[in-house]
Structure 1
Amino acid sequence: MTGVRRGGSRPVVIGDVARLAGVSPQTVSRVFNEQPNVRRETRERVLEAIRQLGYRPNLMARGLVRQKAHTIGVISFDSTLFGPASTLLGIGRAARGAGYGVTVLTPESFDRGSIVEAVAELASHAVAGVITVFASQAEATSALLTLPAGLPAVAVEAAPDDSVPTVRIDQAQGVRLAVEHLLRLGHETVWHVSGPRQRMDAQARVEAWSTALEEAGRSVPREVRGDWSPESGYQAGLELAERRDVTAVFAANDHMALGLLRAFHERGVRVPDDVSVVGFDDIPEAAYLIPPLTTVRPDHEEVGRRAVEVLLGQIDGGAVADAPRVVPALVRRASTAPVTPQTPGGRRPGAGRAP
């Protein structure tokens, strides 16, 4: 295994990593292969040495040659979700327009060993470059640091460091649109049903939500954890329906908002009369929910198109740089409305129970 030494002419080899980490080359190999018989402290020391040296395993030595490749490889982690699926659609359209095919692989699980195997399989298809789609920080690091040395790569949302160009949605601007819309309607604050915390886009939405409220001089309620699924939104809705002080909720994606609407309906909480709800993604079903869902629309297909554009720039020998962030828009529908003076908290009598 070899890599490219940053600022040096000699390729970095596995022995260099071993010396810097103070371990044997066999231990470095065990870390790369995600074998269990390595202590956590040792594993972290090896990974830090890899980052410092800019080491990449030489998968080319295993016959992974990519000369004249006209295929873009994609590693997708949540391809069943609307955002990643739409991004893949954008990647496919942009790649075909540029004369490239696309090979998509999804790791069987998100542990590092499965990701390394997926990367090796993808590289064996002689790809011209790789795009990782909506991974967590840890997943993106495992995938991108185990690519063959010199193989062009682009990350969507998550990257291990500044060495990999990244295409991102402007999460902060999208969340700000949602929060400010609800505050302008007269709501004192906005509750938040968040996505899984290991996902960078979910964490970015949590941070943007709390920042928007703080800058407006409003109290920041505790977030209610979700996992992107309608079921988690439904459970969050059952919890929030019990509180008379909840008049506005921002859900981190539309599927959780869908579950939220169902729970509120079952508990006799009217949307938007009692509680206003805003989602994120603008899934095709959003306009047909009862009531139609106000939501933030990020152009996921545009994210995919820009990822291909940045990758092709690398393949053609151009400058490596992040693309401008994709700015979302607010789509106003019937799930949000001004606060009514029926009760001090805006909720009609009998809607939910007191906290």
Structure 2
Amino acid sequence: MAALWLLLVLQLIWTVDSGKLVFPEGTDVGYIVPDKRARTTEEEDWLNALQKEGFGGSILQRGEREALNEVEEALWRTIENSARLARQQDFRADDREPQPDPIENWHGKWFPHAPKELNRDSSSGNPDTLPEELKDDKHGVAMGIPHVECDNAKINLTMDWDFSPVNYTCFDPKKHRIPVLADLKSKETCVDIPKGYSPQHLCMNTPIEYNTTLPTFGSHRPIWPVYGEYKFVPIQRWLHTIEHGGIVMLYDPCAEPVLVNRLRKLVTGCFRKHVITPYTLLSRERPLALVAWGCSLEMAVVNDEEVKTFIKEHALHGPEGHYAKDGGYKEGLLRKAEYPPGAQEKDSNICP
């Protein structure tokens, strides 16, 4: 019988000219499904000669040729049935409704990592000795609670800003004033942010960096700024502003003052929950910008209707956009924000 199996293996080796590797569902053990073809005349002659002569005697006894054929046919049926089953499983998989990718495999067009992974990595920077009253399952650290063990809007502020005047000063304006490109259209950019994403609050012992010069979401400090205009506010603070549905106005210190004043007037006249600050990372082509949760508007010039439309469409749209309470960070505050005339002290009355 051993000779029978030897001959069967030889037949299969010749028969498999090409095929595909199939892995049954739930296993990492695969098998080759060959494209069955007829044996050539030379192969058939060799097998017949082997049957007659063998190795000094007959390999196939009486009846074993029929048994060999039956075994071969059964083996082929098994292989073909397995291949058919695999194809049916593929078809059924194609017919199923699309399922969302697991969070571990998700790569959004704006996120280099899955939100949970990013949050987990970021929150690891918070102190292990964080007081219980500061712990928060959603953000890592509860917002708005001043504490010397994390963030009280006063300690270790140089982690985010070294207080350099470079961030808010245009040195030699006659030489460095940015020319106005009056015909350049504004650039509005929005990203898709999953509804379940919760930005992490990181204590002042942890540096926070961003992979873009104009972020519209991301981890930030637990204490957000008092609404108003500042000498300078670092990103790590004003990102909390837009999470609360606020609007942030940014301008290059060397931008045309007339345009800055015009944009400032529009923002303050539209919405109380705003922060205005210089920002040196804008492009020279568009040195003015508005930022909201997930969206930004970069401008070379100021178009009143365009600005009002952006504010109306994106104000209050942060994950905590309903939250009206003012912040606790006020380093460099120049003017505290007020409700615009006609708003009747309601943030929902935008650009009255």
What TM bracket, shorter-length normalisation?
under 0.3
TM-score, normalising length: structure 2: 0.19
Choose between structure 1 and 2: higher helix proportion. 1
